[in-house]
Amino acid sequence: MSEETKNTDVKEVEAPKAAPAVSPQQANPEQFLADFNWHNYEEGIDPIEDAKLEEFETLVAENFVDTLNDEVVEGTVINLTDRDAIIDINAKSEGVISLNEFRYNPDLKVGDKVEVLIDIREDATGQLILSHRKARVIKAWDRVNNAHDTGEIVNGFVKCRTKGGMIVDVFGIEAFLPGSQIDVKPIRDYDAYVGKTMEFKVVKINHEFKNVVVSHKALIEADIEEQKKEIIGQLEKGQVLEGTVKNVTSYGVFVDLGGVDGLIHITDLSWSRINHPNEMVELDQKLNVVILDFDEAKTRIQLGLKQLKPHPWEALGKEVKVGDQVKGKVVVIADYGAFIEVEEGVEGLIHVSEMSWSTHLRSAQDFVKVGDVVDAVILTLDREERKMSLGVKQLTPDPWTDITSKYPVGSKHTGIVRNFTNFGVFVELEEGIDGLIYISDLSWTKKIKHPSDFTNVGDKLEVVVLELDVEGRKLSLGHKQTEDNPWDKYETEFAVGTKHTNTIEEIVDKGATIVFNEDIVAFVPSRHLEKEDGKKLGKGDEAEFQIIEFNKEFKRVVASHTALFKEEEAKIVKQAAKKASAASSGEKTTLGDIDVLAELKAKMEKGGN
């Protein structure tokens, strides 16, 4: 058989080509990789063909995690030591995580699935170091951002209190829960929430500072608004409901009616006056309240508490009438009077003019203070208008009844200065009896511009009754009249023409002054300061003066030095003229008389010029 035929025969009988055999590592790559002894390979103990090594690397790339990527992967706890957890992340080697990162999960066990991030790819020993905490943070931020974007409700653990609110652990991130976002009602005990797990809504994220703000209140507000509308839609004015005191403010009380709040204004708490709502109610107290008004659009409800009782004026006994004496407590004081509560919710006004018989009115605070219990007489009573006026002074006799016998005109008394006016002083002789001293009746000698220059409020003054007007209830008093008028004596002592020696006290405009005593200061006109030699007197010069004017009414005294020698001259001239007249009638006149007369005439003319 030829060679060609032989070959042909072989080809003809050759069996069909079988499929390539599958190697064990290709059939079960995971098992192959797990059994592969990398150490022996590195040490050269188990030599590997290049083809097999390439196949091994391909399998590693296809089946193991790429530890070069900073991605969060899931691993399995394969072993636990006292300090670490060994995690299999399907990489070339297992990773290690400190158990401190699992403090939040004390029940961690072998087989648990955990999220991890490669922290260190290989340490000094070639060990892969993983981080569960960092993985949680990355995943947590992804979940928080997603919850914020979608409005998803998340669970959070309230860790502790902080300024203004609470710190909440949400997915391992510390978020801030403001105090105002804990609940729809004010929180009185923040510590009660610490350690609780609650539902929250992520309301704000600051990506720059990695801040997260959550709210529990936001979860229930929407439901509450719907609930409010539903409840308000069923309300009716005058309806009585039970509620719980939710908050107490200075202006009123907020009451929870079971999902919707209503306000009792302070004026609707009691028929009596109160200073603060906490005098009537306290937090968490159960109350029956009546609906006064409500606004469906604004979901506002106005409540009342006092309206559950009849108005006190309606219960006021029919026997109460004008003239009755009542007892009550001072509840409010104004400048014009004081309000007295004679029964709960029934008040009367004591005007300041009805507090004392005195016509000189003062402030109500001078008579009573809040809280005082006083007796009074009913002066007016209007049940329809619910008004009552009271008086206190009516409980004592009117001091003006026997005024003429107690304070007759001309009688002297001691009074107390109560007040000033520009024109005089009001003096109280007794409670209810006031008199006026005009400024001109304060002193005989002093010139007083204002009463405060003479006396002070509270001082005692001796007075004399000058006039008495019983009908007008007015007394006119005088103080200076308690003493003799010294000007009666001065009228004689300093009469016109009397002469006195004294010193010039002061040079003033148009003249000078001389102080004769504490009451009399005389004025000397400039032309009356001239001396006989033609010169003028100056300050401090002592000389004799003659009184040329005395006015007791205006307390005016005028003196002159010049008049002393001018008077002598006038006498000589008069005598000479008399002699001249006699000469003309036949009497003898000497030459000397004529010379003297001529000299005096010339001198007087010169002085007149």
- Shared domain check, 469 and 504: no
Collapsing DSSP to helix, strand or coil, 351 comes out as strand
pLDDT tens-digit map of 546-560: 999 988 878 889 999
Residue 224 has a CB neighbour count (10 Å cut-off) of 17
Please check whether residue 14 lies inside any domain of the structure: no
User: 201-209: which pairs have CB atoms within 8 A and are 24 or more residues apart?
Assistant: 201/147, 201/151, 201/153, 201/154, 202/144, 202/147, 202/148, 202/152, 202/154, 202/170, 202/175, 203/148, 204/148, 205/144, 205/145, 205/148
Among 277, 308, 339, residue at a domain's last position: 308
Among 87, 109, 136, residue at a domain's last position: 136
pLDDT tens-digit map of 357-411: 776 667 888 888 898 999 999 999 988 888 999 999 889 888 888 888 889 998 9
Domain that holds residue 176: 151-220
Q: How far apart are CA 477 and CA 479, in angstroms?
A: 7
Please check whether residue 1 lies inside any domain of the structure: no
Judge contact between 311 and 301, C-beta under 8 A. no
Please check whether residue 19 lies inside any domain of the structure: no
- Shared domain check, 529 and 574: no
608 confidence band (pLDDT: 50, 70, 90): very low
Please check whether residue 205 lies inside any domain of the structure: yes
Say how many Å lie between the first and final Cα of the chain, rounded: 196
- Shared domain check, 319 and 297: no
CATH number at residue 357: 2.40.50.140
Judge contact between 278 and 248, C-beta under 8 A. yes
Please check whether residue 80 lies inside any domain of the structure: yes
Question: How many domains would you assign to the chain?
Answer: 8
What does the pLDDT read at residue 254? 92
Q: How far apart are CA 226 and CA 416, in angstroms?
A: 73
Among 308, 332, 364, residue at a domain's last position: 308
Q: Which region among 12-21, 103-112, 170-179, 563-572 has the lowest average model confidence (pLDDT)?
A: 12-21
Mean pLDDT of the chain: 80
Strands 542-551 and 300-304: unpaired
Please check whether residue 415 lies inside any domain of the structure: yes
**Enclosing H/E stretch for 134:** helix 132-150
- Shared domain check, 550 and 491: yes
- Shared domain check, 374 and 415: no
Please check whether residue 12 lies inside any domain of the structure: no
Please check whether residue 18 lies inside any domain of the structure: no
- Shared domain check, 490 and 436: no
Amino acid identity at 26: Q
Judge contact between 390 and 348, C-beta under 8 A. yes
Residue 368, token pair as written in the block:
């009573």
pLDDT tens-digit map of 326-359: 999 998 898 889 999 988 888 899 999 888 877 6
Q: Does pLDDT of 186 surpass 80?
A: no
- Shared domain check, 328 and 298: no
